[in-house]
Chains A and B, each alone.
Chain A
Amino acid sequence: MSNSLRIFHQLQADLNQIILGQERLIERLLIVLLPEYNYVFFSKTRRALS
């Protein structure tokens, strides 16, 4: 495992402790850091607001 990947995994573990139950969202946040154009748009689902 590279040093960069180890750091990303540590960050992922930290975020999973802070933002509970949003593992998929946190993985998306880390993915968005990796390409050059990294903009992400979040919206709550209608189900979550009903």
Chain B
Amino acid sequence: MCSSQKQEERFHSIFEKIEGEFTFNTMLLPLHSGFIDHENKLLCYTDHFVLADEINRAPAKVQSALLEAMQERSVTNAGTRYELDKPFFVLATQNPIEQEGTYPLPEAQLDRFLLHVFIDYPSIENELKILRLVRKEALSEIQMSSDKSLKSAVDSGTKSVGRKISSVHVFEARNEVLNIYMAPEIERYLVEIIAATRIPEKYSDELARLITWGASPRGSLSLDRCARARAWLHERDFVTPEDLQDLSGDVLRHRIIESYEAESDGITTDDVIAKILAQVAVP
């Protein structure tokens, strides 16, 4: 693998090369990252972490290349296959306005995302805290600028950006999460929630009217893993129905395709998920 400097050079050269046809605003962390192109495809490889900002602005072939890396866990350049390092972590964002000139991800590609999380405005109280925090940081920066030694410390990268977490701890945590107990009745509840998206007529005529396509098996697997992870973070060694209910929206939001009737009535997938949770019997 190239040095960071060479990777950065390559990173920039590819962006220059594709300038004009490519507006995929991508930031890679950490610096041991880069892009490789192959047969007009753009693929990325990185140590651990990719942030694909406004992924719906990338052309279909670029989305396809990134999603191929996500699925296969490897990229190929000029016949050489590069395994992606583990853990490999992708965050993608999408802005739901200004859709002109964008390329929405097909459902099958969206399905590869474990979660689809909505970000809402902060509350008034939190916005006040943000105002004060940003003002305090700006003041602090001005004070540091007047102190050369402090400024030097910041420039050399010693400014704290929070605690870090190592890959070893992530793997240890994954092992612990897999050992979280899920009772058979909770497992059945999980599968019933997914089944309600596929055969909604079994639950009610109203649900059947709202759903065109239900969640894939990736939906079940995602809900299972995320519910275990939530239980672990909440210091429990077993999964509860609440874990499944809390995560159903984020796991299923991008995996359910609504009917035209639902859309025309202004019913969102979140509304549909709420109806499913209300109708599936809780153990």
A interface residue numbers (CB < 8 A to B): 1-5, 7-12, 14-15, 17-18, 20-22, 25, 27-28, 30-49
Contact = CB atoms under 8 A, between A and B. Distances in A.
Contact of A42 (B97, B117, B121, B125): B117
Contact of B120 (A1, A5, A9, A48): A48
B162 A38 contact: no
Interface of B: 55, 70, 87-97, 110, 112-123, 125-127, 129-130, 133, 162-163, 165, 169-170, 172-174, 176-177, 222, 225-226, 228-230, 232-233, 235, 247, 250, 254
B70 A39 contact: yes
Given A3-B172, A11-B165, A41-B94, A31 B115 contact: yes
B163 A41 contact: no
Given A28-B117, A39-B70, A42-B119, A8 B95 contact: no
Given A5-B232, A28-B115, A42 B93 contact: yes
Contacts of A4: 169, 172-173, 176
A43 B233 contact: no
A3 B222 CA distance: 25
A41 B120 contact: no
B90 A40 contact: yes
Given A8-B165, A11-B165, A41 B110 contact: yes
Contacts of A27: 230, 233
Contacts of B114: 32, 35, 37-40
Given A33-B170, A41-B113, A20 B133 contact: yes
Contacts of A28: 115, 117, 250
A30 B116 CA distance: 14
Given A25-B119, A34-B226, 8 more contacts: A3-B172, A10-B163, A21-B123, A28-B117, A36-B174, A43-B95, A44-B120, A45-B96
Given A3-B172, A31-B230, A33-B89, A47 B120 contact: yes
Contact of A21 (B93, B129, B226): B129
Contacts of B169: 3-4, 7-8
